[in-house]
Amino acid sequence: MTLSNKPRTRRRRLGIAAAAAGLLAALLTAHPATATPDPGDAPAADKEVSRSAQAEVREALENGEIPGQDEIVHSANIEHLTNIPKDVLPGTNSDLAFQGRYAYAGNYDGFRIFDISNPRAPKTVAQVLCPGSQNDISVSGDLLFLSTDSSRSDSSCNSTTQPVTEKSSWEGMKVFDISDKRNPKYVAAVETACGSHTHTLLPERKNIYVYVSSYSPNAAYPDCQPPHDGISVIKVPRYAPEKAAVVGFPVLFPGEGADGGGNPGAPTNPGVSKTTGCHDITVLPSKDLAAGACMGDGILFSIKDPERPKVIDRVQDNVNFAFWHSATFNQDADKVVFTDELGGGGAATCNATVGPDRGADGIYDIVGKGDKRKLVFRSYYKIPRHQADTENCVAHNGSLIPVKGKDIMVQAWYQGGVSVWEFTDSKRPREIAYFERGPISTEQLVGGGSWSAYYYNGYIYSNDLVKGFDVLKLSDRRTDPAKRVRLDELNVQTQPDYFD
């Protein structure tokens, strides 16, 4: 394993050859996330690239401008402690959640529980086979929640794929009892309109509310009819989860007709996804706030009444954002970072051709008070290292690193790796650390890289689609104060008040 102790400037113009061949242009003008029947964030299918692009990648490797195939490189302030490869669950790795000494790792074939008491040597506690795209995962107390966004024959963990056009098909939320970590028990299932691509927990003492994000309806889908311009709200009694049920479908984008009132997308806004629901929601319970990344729109809304969220403000970026993917508040709740999943996670968008403003983060200040608060755009952030045209790379899931008085987060970028960056000055974001692997392939675009990279109790944990579970240690005077912050539980989309 070769380590790099300084960032690479990478001034070459990777991607020019592929763009000339028309491959990249085709990827970027297509809708970034299709939904028939497994929408968004799907494992990237291998794609051929032109011979000139292959030659450019080989030249960049020979010149040391990008890491070698599967070579690990990182900044001097990050240490790679370990990697745990995939085991009995062969599917694509997805999101992460944390509780005490445990990490919960989603996988398209189920989920895996790690004991991370010793972050240098995590131990597998359980692996649960329960197929269903994309198995977005959260935990609260003795309950674990799993999203199913692929059309299944039934709600069981033994289900098979089935056409979404069949009324008997099932998609939605699954609930497990994890009081015995070595033997999780499946206790409830709730079907939701258009399935559950992602979900967000809003826990209370007796009940847990689940905001279910799903999208891309079709008149031919019996359980996913247009307009689909809101979110499903599930109420789960903490001590009787078998009684979990949908209690509402608040409309976030009111409008007339079958298309609802969200961003119309193409042809009105070429290259932008039409809004037919939300991709992901982040709640900040201590402030009664939520931020929604909703395909063609970013929204800020109040959750004082958890069953009836109220939209405060809504923004669009029809120049540089293709697909509003996820959101992160800063600790003071006066900023939101939205991510743009240009290319749906399956394209090579971290190159000079695409540039620094597309497939990036958008930093927004929250100005004003109460229901008059507004989202005001300040700047974009994108990793400063160009990736090869055989590497899928775009802004993806990340979390705050809790440093009082500073706005710092860690973020996954698929094969762009893991980036630690600061946005204390909303107009001048900057990277302060990174970790990445070289391309999986130098001959074709192969999907892989970090799906989620989160900071939890002193360490960074990353779930790589292909390579498995990585643990990183960050040592930097700017982030070291975060090591004193300890949490009992972390679902990143349910942001804690770290300093309350």
Residue 1 within a domain: no
**HSE-up of residue 282 (Cα within 13 Å, Cβ side):** 28
Q: Is 392 within 8 Å of 43 (Cβ atoms)?
A: no
Residues 6+ apart with CB under 8 A from 146: 106, 111, 130, 132, 135, 136, 137, 173, 174, 175, 176
Residue 88 within a domain: yes
Q: How far apart are CA 80 and CA 77, in angstroms?
A: 10
Report residues of the chain scoring pLDDT below 50.
Answer: 1-41
Q: Is 290 within 8 Å of 282 (Cβ atoms)?
A: yes
Closest by CA to 148, choosing from 257, 239, 74, 39, is 39
Q: Is 395 within 8 Å of 361 (Cβ atoms)?
A: yes
| CATH classification of the domain holding 53 | 2.130.10.10
268 C-beta neighbours (distance < 10 Å), count: 11
pLDDT at 300: 98
Residue 461 within a domain: yes
Phi first, then psi: give them for residue 71, nearest 5 degrees: -70, 135
Residue 4 within a domain: no
pLDDT at 43: 56
pLDDT in tens, 136-189: 999 999 999 999 999 999 999 999 999 999 999 999 999 999 999 999 999 999
Phi first, then psi: give them for residue 65, nearest 5 degrees: -80, -25
Tokens read off for 432: 């302060």
Q: How far apart are CA 145 and CA 186, in angstroms?
A: 10
Q: What is the 3-state secondary structure (H, E, C) of the chain?
A: CCCCCCCCCCCCCCCHHHHHHCHHHHHHHCCCCCCCCCCCCCCCCCEECCHHHHHHHHHHHHCCCCCCCCCEEECCCEEEEEEECCCCCCCCEEEEEEECCEEEEEECCEEEEEECCCCCCCEEEEEEECCCCEEEEEEECCEEEEEEEEEECCCCCCCCECCCCCCCCEEEEEEEECCCCCCCEEEEEEECCCCCCEEEEEECCCEEEEEEECCCCCCCCCCCCCCCCECEEEEEECCCHHHCEEEECCECCCCCCCCCCCCCCCCCCCCCCCCCCCCEEEEEHHHCEEEEEEECEEEEEECCCCCCCEEEEEECCCCCCCCEEEEEECCCCCEEEEEECHHHHCCECCCCCCCCCCCCEEEEEEECCHHHCEEEEEEEECCCCCCCCCECECCCEEEECCCCCCCEEEEEEEECCEEEEECCCCCCCEEEEEEEECCCCCCEEECCCEEEEEEECCEEEEEECCCEEEEEEECCCCCHHHHHCCCCEEECCECCCCCC
Q: How far apart are CA 232 and CA 212, in angstroms?
A: 5
Domain that holds residue 318: 16-490
Residue 6 within a domain: no
Residue 118 within a domain: yes
Residues 6+ apart with CB under 8 A from 315: 297, 298, 299, 364, 375, 377
Q: How far apart are CA 403 and CA 377, in angstroms?
A: 23
Q: Angle at CA 105, nearest 5°, toward 99 and 108?
A: 145
Q: Is 297 within 8 Å of 275 (Cβ atoms)?
A: yes
Q: Angle at CA 329, nearest 5°, toward 326 and 333?
A: 150
pTM score, two decimals? 0.92
Number of domains in the chain: 1
pLDDT in tens, 249-266: 999 999 877 778 999 999
Would you say the C-alpha torsion 495, 281, 252, 246 has a positive or negative sign? negative
Residue 93 within a domain: yes
Q: Is 375 within 8 Å of 336 (Cβ atoms)?
A: yes
pLDDT at 42: 53
